[in-house]
Structure 1
């Protein structure tokens, strides 16, 4: 008996082809149709196209439709759902989807680094592994997963670690959840308890929350030139454990005193932010005393999406703090 799995497609490199010179990859509907018709032993794959766009063009309304169709598929008997997505913002979409995914069946996101027409195209193998993961009982309860290069990553931990390699994704701090070995899913760790979910789906337009990067000779003076009420919130990609320059602090204090939530992440790839190591002007202790929130091990892009999702549902300041506390490091 074949296991039913639903394939939803948003396009990405996995559904692109190149010109004869090997460059200028672009969406190709025929490539998508060929890949969507892939036969996998023991699986009945049903495909539905939502869009065929680059990941830089994925919007919240696309993800809302993904959630609606994925829930319908699982409620109708699908063992799991696979979503194709461009790799540039794949980790962000996976993270946001995981805030709302409320079924035990896995929602598995995959893609490709090489276009469908390239030598050694990785799309077919990634799709195969994603479908196997979606159908696996061991993936149930894990929420949204990312499958790439035979590795299975948790949505909250995955990050794109290379702009070129076919092994493009990594997980921090715990490493991959599992590997796909043929038709088997081999867990490398226990499926962790999931962070509290949001309800419903993302709003069509998320609140305006820019992310600014701290660094050498960067005092965030752009904040002096924004009209009052422009920002719903702000994320800082801080240096070190989540630090900014002392000169930036008055600007951030003005925002915080006006009720604008400020979340401070770190631009460093691992280690996360701190709450207690340093107490000089612009340090994490100074920022916390001013009212900022530390992002813990969430990178800036994911911290921004979590803050946007919370603001979209009019979450209180206390709720925002509680949600970020789940990612404390």
Structure 2
């Protein structure tokens, strides 16, 4: 039986072309058709362009449209869905989609580091591997995956680790989930239970949650000039295991006492935050005692989105946002 794969597109470098000098890549509305035409084989492709934009301009409403169409085509009989996406925020979109994707069929996100017009374009191989992953028996039930450079990654663990290499994505702390082969996805690890999904659909926009980076001589003075009422929450990319300067603590305590949730991740690429290693002012123990939540293994950009989904759902339902509720949300990602 011929497999059927829906190919949804939000654009990105994979569907861009360069100028005659090989620079200034821009969206190319014809690139998708040219690339898809190269994928001759036994799989029936159902292409649909939802947008053709850089990933820096992808919004929640774009991903809501992806969810609606992906669910519809799978419910109509498609074996799964490939989503093409720019690489800059690909890991964030995959993480968000994983919170909502509630079908057995795989949803595979891919893209490219080189434009379609480049002599060394990586888009064709990535798209081919994404389609192969969708049709692989071993991929069913794994949720949202990112396929890039011959490897498959879990949405919750993948991160863009190079701004230039065609091998742009890696997974921490486990490494890639599998290697894409011609007729299956060769798993390098035993599948683990997925973190509970939120369900429903994404809102058009999320509540405002800025991300501030801690560092040497950074006391988060910006918070003195932002009324707490304008912040639905705050995400801190802390130093080390999730630390801030002692001088930043009064500002964070004031926010927490006013009911604004504060989540602290680490700016370090691996290792995550702690809950008990250090107890000096501004350390993780001090932050926890003040009411903050530690993000665990989630990097700042994903932790921010997880907090925003929680705040958005609470706003929609009228539920109270509590410290206990936020900590429960992040508990599956504890390090």
TM-score, structure 1 length as denominator? 0.99
Q: What is the deviation of 1:157?
A: 0.1
1:303 aligned residue: 303
After the TM superposition, which residues 210-225 of structure 1 pair with which residues of structure 2 at under 5 Å, given as runs?
Answer: 210-225=210-225
1:61 aligned residue: 61
2:167 aligned residue: 167
Match status 1:189 vs 2:189 = yes
CA distance in 2 between partners of 1:233 and 1:40 (Å): 48
After the TM superposition, which residues 248-267 of structure 1 pair with which residues of structure 2 at under 5 Å, given as runs?
Answer: 248-267=248-267
The unaligned stretches of length 5 or more in structure 1 are: none
Q: Tell whether the 8 Å contact from 1:40 to 1:128 is kept in structure 2 after alignment.
A: no
1:321 aligned residue: 327
**CA shift digits 1:5-58 (9 cap, x unpaired):** 100000000000000100000000111121233434221111010000000011
- Aligned to 1:145, the other structure's residue is in SS state strand
1:89 aligned residue: 89
CA distance in 2 between partners of 1:40 and 1:105 (Å): 22
Q: Tell whether the 8 Å contact from 2:132 to 2:181 is kept in structure 1 after alignment.
A: no
CA RMSD in angstroms, aligned pairs only? 0.9
1:272 aligned residue: 272
Count of aligned residue pairs for this structure pair: 329
**CA shift digits 1:149-207 (9 cap, x unpaired):** 00000000000000000000000111111001223311000111000100211100100
2:294 aligned residue: 294
**CA shift digits 1:68-111 (9 cap, x unpaired):** 00000110111110000000000000000100000011100000
Q: Tell whether the 8 Å contact from 1:7 to 1:36 is kept in structure 2 after alignment.
A: no
**CA shift digits 1:211-270 (9 cap, x unpaired):** 000000000000001123010000000000000000000000000000000000000000
TM-score, structure 2 length as denominator? 0.97
- Aligned to 1:319, the other structure's residue is in SS state helix
CA distance in 1 between partners of 2:261 and 2:330 (Å): 12
1:35 aligned residue: 35
2:149 aligned residue: 149
Q: Tell whether the 8 Å contact from 2:108 to 2:130 is kept in structure 1 after alignment.
A: yes
- Aligned to 1:69, the other structure's residue is in SS state helix
Over 6 Å off, 4+ runs: none
CA distance in 1 between partners of 2:46 and 2:249 (Å): 53
- Aligned to 2:333, the other structure's residue is in SS state coil
